Structure 1
């Protein structure tokens, strides 16, 4: 559930990765990144970069 909440925050906000990790309930940014990669196969920064391409 934490990683799903993080994905929603990642897609719907411009919060920093640190803020997203904290709001989703992760104690550390390192753990957030590791779990995110396990679930989605890519780090959160890559997901955000691909989502918000300048036109």
Structure 2
């Protein structure tokens, strides 16, 4: 019984670690995409001096 419980605990811990890593990677990729998209809005601004 202890062996089965130990294997189950290791599998659960491994799956949890994999899911956590996937969530972190997805968040970082999403943040990088949003930051890149915000940095290039698709239009330009021209500053003109009137004097």
Q: Which TM-score bucket, shorter chain as reference?
A: under 0.3
Superposition TM-score, scaled by structure 2 size: 0.26
- Which structure ranks higher in relative contact order (CA pairs < 8 Å, sequence separation ≥ 6)? 1
Q: Who wins on radius of gyration, i.e. which is larger?
A: 2
